[in-house]
Amino acid sequence: MLLFYLGSDFKTMKQHYLTCLLFLTFSPLLFGQSVHRCGDHLHKQQRSAVDPDYLTKRSALDEWIASSAQAQTGRSTEVYRIPVVFHVIYNNAEQNVSDEVILDQLAILNADYNRLNADTSLTRPEFQPVAASAGIEFYLAEWDPQGNPTNGITRTETNQATFINLQFDLNRMKRASTGGVDAWDVTQYLNIWVCNLALPIINTPFILGFATPPDGAPNWPDGSAAEQPEYDGVVLHYEVVGSNPNATGALATVNRGRTAVHEVGHYLGLRHIWGDGQAGEGCNVDDGLSDTPNAAEAQQQTCDYTSNTCDEGPGDLPDMLENYMDYSDESCMNIFTQQQVNAMRFVIENFRESLLTSSKSISKDFEKVAIFPNPSSDFIRFRFPQDLNNVRCLVYNSMGQLVLSQTINTNETLSVESLKGGVYFATFEHPRFRASSSFAKTNNP
Ligand SMILES: [Ca+2]
Ligand SMILES: [Ca+2]
Ligand SMILES: [Zn+2]
């Protein structure tokens, strides 16, 4: 992150980006030692300059969580399941990462977000009490937005050798019109674009990933969320997807698939634990959470357990380089804290809840549909879990014979006048929904 401390006068993305490019171009050795971990700043400064409420917002998160703590209790133990689509965009075979790599990445996300990672024992004793499982699971989408079955991975060949360019546009991979892939409905899926984020010509990774926090999260400066709703999601450089034990050079410290863990943390509202201070701010800014010790700056791909950059008084703790929201060597990253977990769950409940509804509505399991009135002599209505059109309704009698077949929409009625008195079984089929129910037909008085 050294690149972002070169000056305090970067007011616009263009200046910032250009300075970085120039700096990198003339400092290849330094760049090689400190690859740009996360494009969080780039994205933020792409659209907003200085937010006067920046400091206030950073400390707002604690209050925000505390004030809602009681409201959360009813849902506090539910495992949140988030459907994910990976959009692999490639210009050559190497960039076209395999299904196995994607599945490996998914497994890493699920391990780290549920504290099932193999390296929890590396968390230092002073941090063990605050280490927590987020209770969040990620799964590959089973249905695409058109209702067709999918494996949750799209593959698109592009003529773009890299998506880092001099046009200062970090959303090119998110649009089909610029060589990328349009998002799947961002309210229904976590979109993760996988593409080349290397600098042109010298072909060194410029950013490893970046993500958009939810629109309206009070702990982020204005302008941090996606510029357009359809740009919401996570972008990963293809070489850091999944575990890459043989990675060398600048990628050797980011070889455990934890760039995705970090970026999804931003997507779920988390800030960097050192507080994203600009030059000179150091220990004066933090991430708004009290169980992540404040640090003056990011760890630079290291595991320096002696690092303690901020003295927080009695009970002062060392820098928590184990945290996924730092820039440590991934081999020493292994925890989210309880407050980070609370924050992410609160963000899901308040800003990304539609993802959870999505996980229900696209379930392949049969669900129950309420039929009313029941019994009925003339017509019936249905209560689906959400508004649906073109649901195929098949009605069978007690002998298993199909007696009615009709396509219905939410709130439409189905006439059962033609049926004899008795008990009937109905199935409902829709690309994103399957259900069954039974009802009784009474004869007209
Ligand atoms: Ca903190
Ligand atoms: Ca300290
Ligand atoms: Zn970051």
Residues spanned by the domain of 393: 365-441
Ligand nearest to the CA of 294: 1
More confident residue, 246 or 29: 246
**Domain of residue 388, CATH code:** 2.60.40.3080
Q: 309 with 398, same domain?
A: no
Q: 147 with 253, same domain?
A: yes
Q: Ligand 2 mean position to 434 CA, how many Å?
A: 54
> What is the separation of C-alpha 254 from the centre of its chain, rounded to a whole number of angstroms?
19
* Cα 256 to Cα 317: distance, rounded to the nearest angstrom: 26
Q: Ligand 3 mean position to 251 CA, how many Å?
A: 16
Q: 262 with 398, same domain?
A: no
Is the pLDDT confidence value at 423 over 80?
A: yes
Please tell me the predicted confidence (pLDDT) of residue 65: 57
**Domain of residue 96, CATH code:** 3.40.390.10
Please tell me the predicted confidence (pLDDT) of residue 125: 98
**Token representation of residue 386:** 């959400």
Ligand nearest to the CA of 292: 1
Is the pLDDT confidence value at 55 over 60?
A: no
Ligand nearest to the CA of 340: 1
Q: Ligand 2 mean position to 349 CA, how many Å?
A: 32
Rounded (5°) CA angle 349-350-355: 60
Ligand nearest to the CA of 310: 2
Q: Ligand 1 mean position to 119 CA, how many Å?
A: 23
* pLDDT digits 0-9 by tens, 247-270: 998 899 999 999 999 999 999 999
Rounded (5°) CA angle 393-396-397: 150
Query: Is 84 within 8 Å of 144 (Cβ atoms)?
Result: no
Q: What percent of the chain has pLDDT over 70?
A: 79
Query: Is 214 within 8 Å of 352 (Cβ atoms)?
Result: yes
Nearest partner of 278 among 43, 62, 41, judged by Cα: 41
DSSP conformation class of 229 = G
- Peptide linkage before 375 cis (omega within 30 of 0): yes
Average pLDDT over residues 220-229: 89
Query: From the CB of residue 380, how many other CB atoms can be counted at a distance below 10 Å?
Result: 21
* H-assigned helices in 353-437: 353-361
What is the helix (H) or strand (E) element at residue 71, kind and residue range? helix 54-72
Please tell me the predicted confidence (pLDDT) of residue 3: 28
Provide the domain count of the chain.
2
* pLDDT digits 0-9 by tens, 102-148: 999 999 999 999 999 999 999 999 999 999 999 999 999 988 888 77
More confident residue, 353 or 75: 353
Q: Of the given ranges (84-88, 329-333, 400-404), which has the lowest mean pLDDT? A: 400-404
Pairing of strands 234-237, 190-195: parallel
The single residue of 78, 157, 263, 353 carrying the catalytic annotation is 263
Q: Ligand 3 mean position to 261 CA, how many Å?
A: 10
Pairing of strands 402-408, 136-140: unpaired
* pLDDT digits 0-9 by tens, 364-408: 445 667 888 888 999 998 887 777 778 888 898 888 888 998 888
Is the pLDDT confidence value at 330 over 70?
A: yes
Please tell me the predicted confidence (pLDDT) of residue 229: 96
More confident residue, 99 or 382: 99
Q: 114 with 193, same domain?
A: yes
Q: 400 with 283, same domain?
A: no
Q: Ligand 3 mean position to 40 CA, how many Å?
A: 5
Is the pLDDT confidence value at 25 over 60?
A: no
* Cα 303 to Cα 288: distance, rounded to the nearest angstrom: 24
Query: Is 112 within 8 Å of 258 (Cβ atoms)?
Result: yes
**Token representation of residue 94:** 């190497």
Average pLDDT across the chain, whole number: 82
Confidence bin at 317 (pLDDT 50/70/90): very high
Please tell me the predicted confidence (pLDDT) of residue 301: 87
Q: What is the DSSP string of 22-63?
A: HHHHH-HHHHHHS----THHHHHHHH----TTHHHHHHHHHH
Q: 348 with 405, same domain?
A: no
Whole-structure pTM value:
0.75
Please tell me the predicted confidence (pLDDT) of residue 142: 83
Query: From the CB of residue 54, how many other CB atoms can be counted at a distance below 10 Å?
Result: 14
Average pLDDT over residues 43-70: 49
Is the pLDDT confidence value at 354 over 70?
A: yes
DSSP 3-state of 110:
helix
- Peptide linkage before 373 cis (omega within 30 of 0): yes
Q: What is the DSSP string of 317-368?
A: ----TTBTTS---GGG--B-BHHHHHHHHHHHHHHSHHHHHHHHHT-SSEEE
Please tell me the predicted confidence (pLDDT) of residue 27: 30
**Token representation of residue 395:** 């009605």
- Cβ < 5 A residues, ion ligand 2: 293, 308, 310, 316
* pLDDT digits 0-9 by tens, 113-122: 999 999 999 9
Is the pLDDT confidence value at 45 over 50?
A: no
Domain boundary residue, one of 359, 388, 413: 359
Q: 97 with 238, same domain?
A: yes
Please tell me the predicted confidence (pLDDT) of residue 281: 84
Q: Ligand 1 mean position to 67 CA, how many Å?
A: 19
Please tell me the predicted confidence (pLDDT) of residue 64: 61
Q: 196 with 229, same domain?
A: yes
* pLDDT digits 0-9 by tens, 161-200: 999 987 778 899 999 999 999 999 999 999 999 999 999 8
Query: From the CB of residue 17, how many other CB atoms can be counted at a distance below 10 Å?
Result: 22
| CA within 13 Å, CB half, 289 | 26
Average pLDDT over residues 206-211: 92
Domain boundary residue, one of 307, 340, 359: 359
Please tell me the predicted confidence (pLDDT) of residue 7: 25
Q: 370 with 355, same domain?
A: no
Ligand nearest to the CA of 318: 2
Q: Ligand 3 mean position to 262 CA, how many Å?
A: 6
Rounded (5°) CA angle 107-110-113: 145
Please tell me the predicted confidence (pLDDT) of residue 198: 93
Nearest partner of 329 among 101, 30, 37, 111, judged by Cα: 37
Q: 345 with 378, same domain?
A: no
Residue 297 among the catalytic residues: no
More confident residue, 59 or 323: 323
Q: 257 with 380, same domain?
A: no
Average pLDDT over residues 15-34: 33
Domain boundary residue, one of 329, 359, 389: 359
Q: 351 with 373, same domain?
A: no
Is the pLDDT confidence value at 70 over 50?
A: no
* pLDDT digits 0-9 by tens, 280-315: 788 998 898 989 999 999 998 889 999 999 999 999
Please tell me the predicted confidence (pLDDT) of residue 94: 96
What is the helix (H) or strand (E) element at residue 100, kind and residue range? helix 99-112
